Amino acid sequence: MTTNRLEAFSDGVMAIIITIMVLELKIPDEQTWASLIPLIPKFSSYLFSFIYVGIYWNNHHHLFQAIEKVNGKILWANLHLLFWLSLLPFATAWLGEHSLNNRPPAFLYGCILLMCAISYALLEKFAIQHEGATSKIARAIKSNLKEKISILLYLSGILCSLIYPYLSLVLYYTVTILWLVPDRRIEKQHQP
Amino acid sequence: MTTNRLEAFSDGVMAIIITIMVLELKIPDEQTWASLIPLIPKFSSYLFSFIYVGIYWNNHHHLFQAIEKVNGKILWANLHLLFWLSLLPFATAWLGEHSLNNRPPAFLYGCILLMCAISYALLEKFAIQHEGATSKIARAIKSNLKEKISILLYLSGILCSLIYPYLSLVLYYTVTILWLVPDRRIEKQHQP
Amino acid sequence: MTTNRLEAFSDGVMAIIITIMVLELKIPDEQTWASLIPLIPKFSSYLFSFIYVGIYWNNHHHLFQAIEKVNGKILWANLHLLFWLSLLPFATAWLGEHSLNNRPPAFLYGCILLMCAISYALLEKFAIQHEGATSKIARAIKSNLKEKISILLYLSGILCSLIYPYLSLVLYYTVTILWLVPDRRIEKQHQP
Amino acid sequence: MTTNRLEAFSDGVMAIIITIMVLELKIPDEQTWASLIPLIPKFSSYLFSFIYVGIYWNNHHHLFQAIEKVNGKILWANLHLLFWLSLLPFATAWLGEHSLNNRPPAFLYGCILLMCAISYALLEKFAIQHEGATSKIARAIKSNLKEKISILLYLSGILCSLIYPYLSLVLYYTVTILWLVPDRRIEKQHQP
């Protein structure tokens, strides 16, 4: 099976996820400057999650540039990733509901970010398995150090959220910066 | 006519269906752990329906891998399937509204699952008709035993929902497991 | 310019339109049979509009099978059609709000259907203009009798809605049946 | 990397943005003519923003007709554009909330339009950088006078909104008319 439809479906789901988060920015009843202030935490969490989904789309794009065929296992690993990404709008909206400095939402947000990272790592693993050890993708992703650091940072953030929620957001944010640079490992492989 | 646009449109509709179900997970007013508890039935029904739409997308993907051209009849059979799938978010949300153990929502949920199964079987039938008895798709789907067992299980579940709603959910869930394995019949045909 | 992206964008918009209409089926507060009854008009108007958007998608699909290149004028004619289609969910939901037998919603619904029909006819006209009189599409759409009858039926329905709203719905419905058969004119041209 | 997925993802996001704005047209509780009147400002702002997103889609389409390959920088410049476009439904709905003649919404609306214009100009710039000075796209977009005039008009409109909100809308609208004609610079280059 070719990767066309898997990419198209994932593009669709990620496009919807990235866009429905903005629906949580409820329009204020009044048309005054002051009525925008309570929206600041919601807007911050939206901005952060937009970047987050953007990173996943970017890496997904890079990953499937290097994959030529898929099997049932990869289809399900991809749906598994999309499932966790689909919970991001909920976690984002809850995080931004009143204050960013509350333990339960910061904890839940971290858990969902962690599950996204794990499911992405699984997808990568199955893809390498299916393509073979000498494939383009296997050569591109020799080390998954970045994935391991991310998972470690998420775990620290989740623990941290039980004491200092703000600090946990800083840890989650660090992962974002780590990944904002797209996956050069694959991009390099494309240039002969 | 080629299958490109039918696949793209179906991908779009299924991507939206799978994503809007998550909108039913309303954000709790408070940022406490306790406020998440009432969401458990909603989350369970979301998880179940996500898997469900995932299975349909998967099988749809497999089916159209083996189909080369479509006619008006197949276009409408496909829209018929999408119609019943589009009612799944409603049935899912109603099922998860208060308790999973209520008769009317379990009955309705089963009916919609049944109609999805029937419309998928029809789509398969029209595709085989159009491609011809010696086509790739006709050889791949020689027996539709799995489809028949599913429909039987749904009917049992629907009857059952009028007495023991929880048991009916178990029956519906059995069908899911039956299909979680993608349609190997078609995958095999692709390997020479 | 090729037609790929115009088709993909239109597929996306139509997929969303067809799916967001179902969001208007608000989940009843109670999990009883009786609570489904007030949803009957909403469900009827949803069913009708689903078929309606399905017809447009179908004809759009057929039309662009026969078109090979597009210009700026066709892009805007297509966006014009999508604009009127995008108002269909609003008109549908209003029609199904309380009773199907009220004048203003039946009138508005008819106007939007009429504008969709007119904008589709314009799109067809510009496409023929651009492709040339000897093109596949020009030969396929020699007569636009069906388009003219539809517009006439809509106009009658709109007038009628001011006196007998139910009757106007019957007239709108007649057009649906007229178009449910996909555009054989183009399909025939594809078979040599 | 080819441009296929970037185009598909952008099509998806823009299709959703253009469609969710219509969800802000809340269905009136009553089925009377009078109940439609309060919707007039909402409808006006929807119409305006539909045209606006339509223009961006159109120009995006023209731009990527002339681009053959993308890098990570262009992917992010594109996501940056989509971010600002995704805030348009919020700004549109707020503008149409009560009256079009209020300062804060007119100011915010202008700022978002300005950021869209700036991010589009950046995308264009990075594309030209990546394709090279002798590329199709570089020859097509020799002058970016139109972009500069637009940004100037937005800035004037934003300042103006603090005194005469209605006048600022006129200025924003002028930009729309300026761009309604698709980017002939690129279209010309396609004809040898």
Q: What does pLDDT average to over chain A?
A: 86
Question: Best of C2, C3, C4, C9 to disrupt the D interface by mutation (most D CBs within 10 Å)?
Answer: C9
Confidence of residue A39 (pLDDT cuts 50, 70, 90): confident
Quote the pLDDT of residue D183: 52
Provide, as residue numbers in chain C, all residues whose Cβ is less than 8 Å from the Cβ of D182: 72, 75-76
Check: CB of residue C35 under 8 Å from CB of residue C29: yes
Average pLDDT over residues A16-34: 86
In a domain, D166, yes or no: yes
CA dihedral D150, D153, D159, D160 (to 10 degrees): -140
User: Cα separation of D146 and D119, whole Å?
Assistant: 15
b/e burial code for range C91-117 (CB count within 10 A of at least 16 → b): bbbbbbbeebebbbbbbbbbbbbbbbb
Confidence of residue B192 (pLDDT cuts 50, 70, 90): very low
In a domain, D33, yes or no: no
- For B51, nearest residue in chain A (alpha carbons): A79
pLDDT above 60 for D115: yes
pLDDT above 50 for C191: no
Of C143, C151, C144, nearest to C115 (Cα)?
C151
Domain count, chain A: 1
pLDDT above 70 for D107: yes
pTM of the complete model: 0.88
User: Cα separation of B102 and B18, whole Å?
Assistant: 24
With CB atoms and an 8 Å threshold, state whether C72 touches D187: yes
Quote the pLDDT of residue D155: 95
Quote the pLDDT of residue B135: 79
Most confident of B41-50, C115-124, D127-136: C115-124
Higher-pLDDT residue of C78, C3: C78
Please, what is the end-to-end C-alpha distance for chain D in angstroms?
26
What percent of chain C clears pLDDT 70, i.e. is strictly above it? 92
Weakest-pLDDT range from A111-120, B92-101, C118-127: B92-101
Confidence of residue D148 (pLDDT cuts 50, 70, 90): confident
pLDDT above 90 for A182: no
DSSP H or E segment with residue A27: none
Quote the pLDDT of residue C192: 37
Check: CB of residue C117 under 8 Å from CB of residue C140: no
Q: What does pLDDT average to over chain D?
A: 86
State the Cα angle at B102 between B100 and B106, rounded to 5°. 75
In a domain, D150, yes or no: yes
Q: What does pLDDT average to over chain C?
A: 86
User: Which residue intervals of A33-87 are DSSP H helices?
Assistant: 40-65, 72-86
Quote the pLDDT of residue D181: 64
Express each pLDDT in B115-145 by its tens digit. 999 999 999 989 888 888 777 777 777 777 8
Express each pLDDT in C1-48 by its tens digit. 678 889 989 999 999 998 888 887 888 888 888 888 888 888 888 898
pLDDT above 80 for C142: no
The amino acid occupying position A109 is Y
Question: Best of B9, B14, B27 to disrupt the A interface by mutation (most A CBs within 10 Å)?
Answer: B27
State the sign of the Cα–Cα–Cα–Cα dihedral D125, D130, D136, D138: positive
Confidence of residue A191 (pLDDT cuts 50, 70, 90): very low
DSSP three-state, residue D150: helix
Q: Which of residues 4-63 of B touch A (CB under 8 A)?
A: 7-8, 11-12, 14-16, 18-20, 22-23, 25, 27-29, 31-33, 35-36, 47, 50, 54, 57-58, 61-62
Provide, as residue numbers in chain B, all residues whose Cβ is less than 8 Å from the Cβ of C29: 97
CA dihedral D86, D87, D92, D98 (to 10 degrees): 140
Express each pLDDT in D152-169 by its tens digit. 999 999 999 999 988 998
Quote the pLDDT of residue A1: 67
With CB atoms and an 8 Å threshold, state whether B76 touches C58: yes
Check: CB of residue B62 under 8 Å from CB of residue B187: yes
Q: How many CB atoms lie within 10 A of CB D55?
A: 22
pLDDT above 70 for B12: yes
What percent of chain B clears pLDDT 90, i.e. is strictly above it? 39
Residue with tokens 């969001």: C23
What are the DSSP calls for C24-58, one per residue?
GSPPPSS-SSGGGGGGHHHHHHHHHHHHHHHHHHH
Q: How many CB atoms lie within 10 A of CB B34?
A: 9
**What range defines the domain where residue B46 resides?**
4-190
Residue with tokens 């994932």: A10
Asked whether this complex has an ipTM greater than 0.90, the answer is no
- D159-168 long-range contacts (CB < 8 A, ≥24 apart) are D161/D103, D161/D106, D161/D107, D161/D109, D161/D110, D162/D103, D162/D107, D165/D100, D165/D101, D165/D102, D165/D103, D165/D105, D165/D106, D166/D100, D166/D101, D168/D106, D168/D107, D168/D110
Of C102, C98, C113, C96, nearest to C155 (Cα)?
C113
